[in-house]
């Protein structure tokens, strides 16, 4: 099976390649921010994010999908190519997993200079209960051939990036694709997927940054060489220079966020808090099923350990944490910092990355106490 090499056959739409910028947001960044909503941080209170409050990242257009007639093709290096209807997929058994998903670009907007793209601050994260059938069952039915070294997943959405036209597509190695955790999901929080979350079918790759969880999934192609699609090799790679080979973005890095306390100023979102005891609440998570070991609350640079809530079901959802702060009048900075079971801890400063990926620096919130 040879995969069509993406060659720009149309006038290149982004011939210059975008540049890094500092300062004011461009009109293009604002337009993207209006399409791709973040989760308001007060929604961290919910164990499971209400579907309409889960963050969204959609590269191209949301495909219009009529109710009936969807099918999923499995082809390439397989012994028994498949075309499966939704009903056939649902009949293959179902599981529900609670999964925290974060966009790899979360926090990009706070880098300087920043890559011109979706200008996320902190909200590109959410937790949902995804219901679907394990991907493994589908791949076993198709039977991966001995020469299959990669498995590519394509959505029904198509567009340009960097001048390259392509269907949104990502791949997983057979070892990961045949693992226990990856789902082909048709429901979110007990309801059919919303159009913006991939109706009628999507991949959910727990423990990974969101780019792997291909929405509007209509094609799986087993490959005899590593997938070279745009979203696999031309982005979602950690690197500091264009020349570098870099490291692919995969599992989420350990991270925590806090619900900004008190009340906000409408325009600046600055916080106003009454003096006295303030209950601080937040969430922490890591990638690849790694559990959270510790969360610390920082007050004006001094750290103390927070109390962890009971663990969530499974290994893939965020964990609540809480702490008490005795607020004294004046200006203060709150921060939170998580450590996972591997001993990985959030950095105090943002690592600079060309595409603005994997930013897990501690979350800081400025507060005025009266
Ligand atoms: N087909 C398709 N799948 C996609 C995307 C996309 O643009 N097209 N965006 C990816 C990215 S970058 C992220 S972070 C997640 C976001 O999933 P959500 O919008 O359901 O939160 O979907 C991923 N799957
Ligand atoms: Mo993303």
> Which CATH number does the domain housing residue 47 bear?
3.90.420.10
In a domain, 260, yes or no: yes
> Closest Cα partner for 255 from 361, 165, 348?
361
Ligand 1 center to 176 CA (angstroms): 19
Q: Do 156 and 263 share a structural domain?
A: no
In a domain, 60, yes or no: yes
Q: What gap in Å lies between CA 209 and CA 336, rounded to an integer? A: 21
Query: Of all residues in the chain, what percent are helix, strand and coil, respectively (each to 5)?
Result: 15, 40, 50
Whose alpha carbon is nearest atom 18 of ligand 1? 56
Q: What gap in Å lies between CA 116 and CA 155, rounded to an integer? A: 24
Q: Do 263 and 230 share a structural domain?
A: no
Ligand 2 center to 106 CA (angstroms): 8
Ligand 2 center to 213 CA (angstroms): 9
Q: Which atom of ligand 1 is nearest to the CA of 169?
A: 1
Average pLDDT over residues 43-52: 98
Name the residue of 51, 65, 215, 232 whose CB sits within 8 Å of the most ligand 1 atoms, as the mutation to test its pocket.
215
In a domain, 334, yes or no: yes
Q: Do 178 and 52 share a structural domain?
A: yes
In a domain, 250, yes or no: no
Residue 218 has pLDDT above 90, yes or no: yes
Query: Based on the structure, what is the number of domains in the chain?
Result: 2
Contact 273, 261 (CB under 8 A): yes
Ligand 1 center to 153 CA (angstroms): 12
Structure token pair of residue 301 = 């640079």
How confident is the model at residue 16, as a pLDDT? 57
Q: Is 338 in the pocket of ligand 1 (CB under 6 A)?
A: no
Q: Do 196 and 86 share a structural domain?
A: yes
Question: Of 220, 243, 266, which marks where a domain is finished?
Answer: 243
Residue 339 is part of a domain; what is its CATH number?
Answer: 2.60.40.650
Any idea which ligand is nearest the CA of 214? Answer: 1
Q: What gap in Å lies between CA 189 and CA 30, rounded to an integer? A: 30
In a domain, 248, yes or no: no
Structure token pair of residue 91 = 């009949």
Q: Do 228 and 292 share a structural domain?
A: no
* SS3 assignment for 82-143: EEEEHHHHHCCCCEEEEEEEECCCCCHHHCCCEECCCCCCCCCEEEEEEEEEEHHHHHHHHC
In a domain, 249, yes or no: no
Average pLDDT over residues 252-267: 98
Q: Do 215 and 74 share a structural domain?
A: yes
Q: Do 233 and 286 share a structural domain?
A: no
Any idea which ligand is nearest the CA of 58? Answer: 1
Q: Do 267 and 214 share a structural domain?
A: no
Q: Do 273 and 133 share a structural domain?
A: no
What digits encode the pLDDT tens for the residues 91-145? 999 999 999 999 999 999 999 999 999 999 999 999 999 999 999 999 999 999 9
What digits encode the pLDDT tens for the residues 165-176? 999 999 999 999
Question: Of 243, 265, 298, which marks where a domain is finished?
Answer: 243
How confident is the model at residue 242, as a pLDDT? 86
Q: Is 216 in the pocket of ligand 1 (CB under 6 A)?
A: yes
Q: Do 154 and 88 share a structural domain?
A: yes
Q: How many CB atoms lie within 10 A of CB 82?
A: 18
Identify the band that residue 15 occupies on the pLDDT scale cut at 50, 70 and 90.
low
Ligand 2 center to 204 CA (angstroms): 13
Q: Is 128 in the pocket of ligand 1 (CB under 6 A)?
A: no
Any idea which ligand is nearest the CA of 153? Answer: 1
Domain of 185, in residue numbers: 5-243
Question: Of 222, 243, 264, which marks where a domain is finished?
Answer: 243
What digits encode the pLDDT tens for the residues 260-310? 999 999 999 999 999 999 999 999 999 999 999 999 999 999 999 999 999
Q: What gap in Å lies between CA 221 and CA 129, rounded to an integer? A: 27
CA end-to-end span of the chain, whole Å? 67
Q: Do 322 and 294 share a structural domain?
A: yes
Name the residue of 36, 52, 210 whose CB sits within 8 Å of the most ligand 1 atoms, as the mutation to test its pocket.
210
What digits encode the pLDDT tens for the residues 48-90? 999 999 999 999 999 999 877 999 999 999 999 999 999 999 9
> What is the chain's alpha carbon radius of gyration, rounded to the nearest angstrom?
21
Q: Is 55 in the pocket of ligand 1 (CB under 6 A)?
A: yes
Q: Do 328 and 211 share a structural domain?
A: no
């Amino acid at each position: 099976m040879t995969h069509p090499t993406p060659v720009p056959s149309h006038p290149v739409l982004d011939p210059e390649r975008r540049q890094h910028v500092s300062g004011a947001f461009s009109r293009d960044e604002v337009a993207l921010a209006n399409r791709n909503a973040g989760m308001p941080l007060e929604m961290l209170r919910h164990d499971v994010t209400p579907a309409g409050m889960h963050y969204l990242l959609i590269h191209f257009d949301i495909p219009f999908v009529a109710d009936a007639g969807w099918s999923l093709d499995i082809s390439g290096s397989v012994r028994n190519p498949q075309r499966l209807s939704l009903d056939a997929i649902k009949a293959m058994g179902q599981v529900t997993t609670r999964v925290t998903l974060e966009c790899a670009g979360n926090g990009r907007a706070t880098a300087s200079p920043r890559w011109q793209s979706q200008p996320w601050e902190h909200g590109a994260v959410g937790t949902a209960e995804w219901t679907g059938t394990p991907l493994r069952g589908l791949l076993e039915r198709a039977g991966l051939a001995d020469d299959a070294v990669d498995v590519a997943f394509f959505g029904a959405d198509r567009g340009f990036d960097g001048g390259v036209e392509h269907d949104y597509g990502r791949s997983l190695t057979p070892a990961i694709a045949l693992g226990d955790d990856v789902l082909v999901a048709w429901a979110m929080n007990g309801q059919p997927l919303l159009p913006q979350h991939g109706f009628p079918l999507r991949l959910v790759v727990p423990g990974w940054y969101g780019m792997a969880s291909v929405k509007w999934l209509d094609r799986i192609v087993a490959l005899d060489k590593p997938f070279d699609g745009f979203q696999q090799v031309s982005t979602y790679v950690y690197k500091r220079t264009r020349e570098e080979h870099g490291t692919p973005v995969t599992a989420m890095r350990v991270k925590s966020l806090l619900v900004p306390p008190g009340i906000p100023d409408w325009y600046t979102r600055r916080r106003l808090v009454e003096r006295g005891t303030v209950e601080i609440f937040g969430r922490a998570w890591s990638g690849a099923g790694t559990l959270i070991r510790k969360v610390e609350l920082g007050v004006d640079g001094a750290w103390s350990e927070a109390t962890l809530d009971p663990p969530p079901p499974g290994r893939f959802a965020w964990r609540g944490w809480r702490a008490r702060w005795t607020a004294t009048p004046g200006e203060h900075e709150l921060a939170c910092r998580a450590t996972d079971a591997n001993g990985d801890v959030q950095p105090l400063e943002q690592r600079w990355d060309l595409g603005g990926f994997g930013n897990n620096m501690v979350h800081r919130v400025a507060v005025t106490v009266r």
